[in-house]
């Protein structure tokens, strides 16, 4: 969907006009109060659930969570997935043509924040005639957007469902992002971000970035369980090939990612992660930052998530409780680290399903 | 010191002749039984303690541990530091000229293992007239060498002092190594390892490798304490410069490292780390692997070391106890992660000092 109204960004820059690619599932009811917005994290898109005709492999990134009979049941809710600004799956981003120059935005695409994305999503909601979401939901960076909705548009969100998230990145989180960005920026095919017109892609940098990411998405135990020290060769080969299964796995993940993801988008989205810190405007006081929120909350964390550990989710829960908000918090004992939010962990899915049952009951009542 | 006798390596390759750069501190006693061998980890060298004349900045890497009045007191012990084969500080490695070709070894330098290093160190001991070490000591990869001494040369080591180590890398440890190696190998200045003759250095790759390493050496809490989310700019700059202190720190560490460290050495030494696994020949049974050991042991681990956690040290301790070995184990509550082994943590230094006091008493007795 095309927006011609300029968007003022947190940086002070302005996007004159932009496209937001979105997808919907189910039907908006007559009261227009059963809409659920699903926000994506680093590498996902508007394609949340289901498959496109003729593309059986392109399954939605949260298909186990959203769909008919799923925890977020599209027979009961009208679900919207939207690709964020700066991303590379159809919404305006660095790969798009800047109408002012007739060339790719490239490095000139402005740095966008979680708050900017929420503003753009609110514009989309306006156009779709949705005054108030039954829920805004996301995992990881997606959950930051859901949280930010409760602060930026407290009257437009009934429920916030925030999975595997944190009120702000730690120094270690930022450090991992910075290493990934350094790998991308130092790839000679990056050309300062203006690689599109040169017909090259900084694949080596993207590959390294994704490999680093993957290590932080899995838990140490999970990697031990999945790969251990298993070799793909009968014995040590005394070389630098992919001898250990874990090396082969990471190389494969890196290769796959470098085929479809945009390097400038990687920089932009990790920066949005770094910058997210609603308490910053209040001297670090998360209670004050969350004071405007009116929504009800479901927060979920996973015990082996060392990227955004349960302690970080509890920080949000405590700030909400101090503000008198209604909060359900589930800390799920799951072995899969940060990635658990995308996996079919039964207790986690049951908790989300039960929460959405209650939302449906509220709407029916 | 030059060795003309060929060294048979674990890989089946053979080094026809080689140089070992070493340094000594103190005086070997008449009984020749007070020698302590210090083994280095990834990026260190034979220069363990003290300063060279006219180079006051080049302080030894373990100067707080080794020296007159230090826990390993060079007034009481004859201490030897040796640069390992494949490293880049004077011993034969990829930067050296291969006498067979008259050119740099480069990528043709054979993959070496912890066991190979120990064999080379034993050759050095022979030449120095040391039949049996009072102690072999190291931290991290250095400690793996000390452990391997007890298995390979049980009669030649009285005490093994192993700090912040593990009996084998985990999948996650290998994964971090592989990402670092990928960054180096994909640097176009790497030229498959044969960059010396081209007058270039794969600095970008080394920089990324070092940045990744640094994250794993520090604890999450330590990084939070040291850097938190502090900015170097008055406010968010909405760009990709080093805005956060932690970004600036990592970039600086990466730059420094890329100025002095050799990329092929980085590959070789991380591979030696990956391969170390004495239990592997015994179907994973560490008790059997350590059965030959006769030494007495001091093991130290640090609570916030998430690279080689205390649980891994305890695995070694337990296997030694089952074998009836005499073991002192200190688990130090320190905030500095893996790096703690290089730092001036008083309880840790007191434990090592007390242990060496006992060794000195044994020698005197």
Q: How confident is the model at residue B306 (pLDDT cuts 50, 70, 90)?
A: very high
Q: How far is B90 from chain A (nearest CA, A)?
A: 23
Size of the A and B interface in Cβ pairs below 8 Å: 151
CB within 8 Å: A179 and B208: yes
pLDDT at A120: 98
Q: How far is B65 from chain A (nearest CA, A)?
A: 28
pLDDT at B263: 98
CA neighbor of B136 nearest in space, from B114, B121, B126: B121
CB within 8 Å: B247 and A174: yes
CB within 8 Å: A182 and B240: no
Task: Tell me which residue in B10, B174, B214 faces A244 most closely, judged by beta carbons.
Answer: B174
pLDDT at B228: 96
pLDDT at B57: 83
Interface test with B, best of A8, A14, A178, A211 (most B CBs within 10 A): A178
Burial of A59 (0-12, 13-18, 19+ CB in 10 A): middle
Region of poorest pLDDT, from A55-59, A314-318, B296-300: A55-59
Residues of chain B positioned with their CB less than 8 A from the CB of A277: 229
Catalytic residue (one of B140, B148, B219, B301): B140
pLDDT at B365: 81
* Predicted confidence (pLDDT) per residue in B14-73, tens digit: 998 999 999 999 999 999 999 999 999 999 999 999 998 888 888 999 999 999 999 999
Q: How far is A26 from chain B (nearest CA, A)?
A: 38
Q: What angle do CA A345, A349, A355 make, to 5 degrees?
A: 155
Q: How far is B118 from chain A (nearest CA, A)?
A: 17
Interval A266-280 mean pLDDT:
98
CB within 8 Å: A171 and B251: no
Using CA atoms, how far apart are residues A211 and B179, in angstroms rounded to an integer? Answer: 6
Task: Tell me which residue in A11, A204, A277 faces B229 most closely, judged by beta carbons.
Answer: A277
Interface test with A, best of B116, B168, B172 (most A CBs within 10 A): B172
- Asked if the model's pLDDT at residue A131 lies above 90, the reply is yes
Interval B289-311 mean pLDDT:
97
Percent of chain B with pLDDT over 90: 96
CB within 8 Å: A179 and B211: yes
pLDDT at A365: 81
Residues of chain B positioned with their CB less than 8 A from the CB of A172: 215, 218, 220, 223-224
Residues of chain B positioned with their CB less than 8 A from the CB of A11: 236, 238
pLDDT at B53: 85
Would residue B349 show up in a list of annotated catalytic residues for this protein? no
* Predicted confidence (pLDDT) per residue in A133-164, tens digit: 999 999 999 999 999 999 999 999 999 999 99
CA neighbor of B41 nearest in space, from B304, B217, B299: B217
CB within 8 Å: B111 and A239: yes
pLDDT at B126: 98
CB within 8 Å: A224 and B171: yes
Task: Tell me which residue in B226, B239, B247 faces A178 most closely, judged by beta carbons.
Answer: B247
Find out whether B141 and A269 touch, Cβ atoms under 8 Å: no
Arithmetic mean of pLDDT over chain A: 97
φ and ψ at A300, to 5 degrees? -130, 135
pLDDT at A36: 98
Interface test with B, best of A9, A107, A182 (most B CBs within 10 A): A182
Residues of chain A positioned with their CB less than 8 A from the CB of B220: 170-172, 306
> How many other β-carbons are positioned within 10 Å of the β-carbon of residue A290?
23
Q: What is the 3-state secondary structure (H, E, C) of chain B?
A: CEECCCEECCCCCEECCEECCEEEECCCCCCCCCEEEEECCCCCCCCCCCCECCECCCCCCCCCCEECCCCEECCCCEEEEECCCCCCCCCCCCCCEECCCCEECHHHCCCCCHHHHHHHHHHHHHHCCCCCECEEEEECHHHHHHHHHHHHCHHHECEEEEECCCCCCCHHHHHHHHHHHHHHHCCCCCHHHCCHHHCCCCHHHHHHHHHHHHHHHCCHHHHHHHCCCCECCCCCCCCCCCCEHHHHHHHHHHHHHHHHCCHHHHHHHHHHHHHCCHHHHHCCCHHHHCCCCCCEEEEEEECCCCCCCHHHHHHHHHHHHHCCCCEEEEEECCCCHHHHHHCCCHHHHHHHHHHHHHHHHHHHC
Arithmetic mean of pLDDT over chain B: 97
Q: What's the first-to-final CA gap in chain B, in angstroms?
A: 34
Q: How far is A335 from chain B (nearest CA, A)?
A: 14
Task: Mention every residue, 6+ apart, whose C-beta is less than 8 A from residue A146.
Answer: A39, A136, A137, A138, A157, A160, A161, A162
Measure Cα distances from A207 to B53, B74, B230 in Å.
45, 48, 29
CB within 8 Å: B111 and A175: no
Measure Cα distances from A286 to A293, A314, A318, A319, A323 in Å.
12, 12, 9, 6, 10
CB within 8 Å: A250 and B175: yes
CB within 8 Å: A229 and B175: no
φ and ψ at B312, to 5 degrees? -75, -40
pTM here is: 0.96
Interval A285-314 mean pLDDT:
98
Find out whether B223 and B195 touch, Cβ atoms under 8 Å: no
B8 pairs with which residues across the strands?
A: B14
Interval A60-77 mean pLDDT:
98
Residues of chain B positioned with their CB less than 8 A from the CB of A208: 179, 182-183, 186, 208
**Residues of A assigned a catalytic role:** 140, 305, 338
Q: How confident is the model at residue A54 (pLDDT cuts 50, 70, 90)?
A: confident
Find the residue in B nearest to A210 (Cα). B179
pLDDT at A56: 82
Residues of chain B positioned with their CB less than 8 A from the CB of A204: 186
pLDDT at B314: 98
Q: How confident is the model at residue B156 (pLDDT cuts 50, 70, 90)?
A: very high
pLDDT at A57: 83
Q: How far is A283 from chain B (nearest CA, A)?
A: 12
Find the residue in A nearest to B277 (Cα). A229
């Amino acid at each position: 969907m095309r927006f011609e109204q300029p968007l003022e960004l947190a940086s002070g820059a302005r996007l004159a006009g932009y496209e937001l690619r979105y997808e919907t599932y189910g039907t908006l009811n007559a009261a227009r109060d059963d809409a659920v917005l699903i926000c994506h994290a680093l590498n996902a898109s508007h394609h949340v659930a289901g498959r496109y005709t003729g593309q059986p492999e392109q399954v939605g990134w949260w298909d186990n969570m959203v769909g008919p009979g799923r925890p977020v049941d599209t027979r009961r809710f009208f679900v919207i997935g939207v690709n964020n600004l700066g991303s590379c799956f159809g919404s305006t981003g660095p790969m798009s043509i800047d109408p002012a120059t007739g060339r790719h935005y490239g490095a000139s695409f402005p740095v966008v924040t979680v708050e900017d994305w929420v503003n753009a999503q609110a514009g989309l909601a306006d156009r779709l005639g949705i005054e108030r979401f039954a829920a805004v939901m996301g995992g990881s960076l997606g959950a930051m957007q859901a949280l930010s909705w409760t602060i930026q548009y407290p009257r437009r969100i009934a429920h916030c469902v925030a999975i595997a998230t944190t009120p702000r990145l730690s120094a270690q989180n930022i450090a991992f992002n910075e290493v990934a960005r350094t790998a991308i920026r130092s790839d000679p095919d990056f050309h300062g971000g203006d690689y599109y017109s040169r017909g090259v892609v900084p694949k080596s940098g993207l590959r390294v970035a994704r490999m680093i990411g993957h290590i932080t998405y899995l838990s140490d135990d999970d990697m031990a369980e999945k790969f251990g020290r298993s070799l793909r060769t009968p014995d040590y080969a005394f070389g630098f090939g992919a001898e250990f299964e874990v090396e082969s796995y990471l190389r494969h993940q890196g290769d796959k990612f470098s085929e479809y993801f945009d390097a400038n988008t990687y920089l932009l989205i990790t920066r949005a992660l770094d910058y997210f810190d609603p308490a910053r405007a209040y001297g670090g006081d998360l209670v004050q930052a969350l004071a405007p929120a009116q929504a009800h909350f479901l927060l979920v964390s996973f015990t082996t998530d060392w990227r955004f550990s349960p302690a970080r989710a509890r920080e949000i829960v405590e700030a909400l409780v101090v503000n008198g908000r209604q909060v359900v918090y589930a800390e799920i004992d799951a072995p899969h680290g940060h990635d658990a939010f995308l996996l079919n962990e039964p207790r986690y899915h049951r908790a989300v399903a039960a929460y959405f049952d209650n939302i449906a009951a509220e709407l029916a009542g």
